[in-house]
Amino acid sequence: KAGVTQTPRYLIKTRGQQVTLSCSPISGHRSVSWYQQTPGQGLQFLFEYFSETQRNKGNFPGRFSGRQFSNSRSEMNVSTLELGDSALYLCASSTGTGISMNTEAFFGQGTRLTVV
């Protein structure tokens, strides 16, 4: 069974540009969550999607957006990149939403974004 796939693995962008990251969840998983991981702030929740609907959003500016497609694949977009957006962006998929055991998250290996 294929795991969570994130593309690209590494990305270098210039301040002011925009970027789109992709996440393909495990087959059959309908929930996708995104996290930003930095040495200073740790792992911070960005958003969660379930069946193409954004279920929750973390405390990030509107430059951060996302969507989920009918095949459960998800993309996140960051516009007008800032140096502080440099981070490891992790995507996680799970079978469901809620708080039960089946919301155990399976993580991808992440996309490391560097903004210069």
Interface residue list for another protein (CB under 8 A): 33, 35, 42-45, 48, 55-58, 88, 90, 92, 97-101, 103-110
Q: Which is nearer to another protein, 10 or 70 (CB)?
A: 10
Is 42 or 62 the residue whose CB approaches another protein more closely?
A: 42
Q: Alpha-carbon distance 105 to 32, whole Å?
A: 9
Report, in Å, the least distance between residue 12 CB and another protein.
18
CA-CA-CA-CA torsion sign (99, 102, 107, 108)? negative
Could you say which DSSP state residue 52 is in?
Answer: T
Amino acid at 91: C
Least spacing, CB of residue 101 vs another protein, in Å: 5
How far, CA to CA in Å, does 5 sit from each of 17, 46, 58, 84, 105?
A: 24, 18, 22, 25, 13
Which residue's CB is nearer to another protein, number 11 or number 88?
A: 88
Question: Shortest approach of another protein to residue 66 CB, angstroms?
Answer: 14
Shortest spacing between CB 15 and another protein, in angstroms: 25
Between 15 and 52, name the residue whose CB sits nearer to another protein.
Answer: 52
Backbone angles phi, psi at 85, to 5 degrees: -85, -5
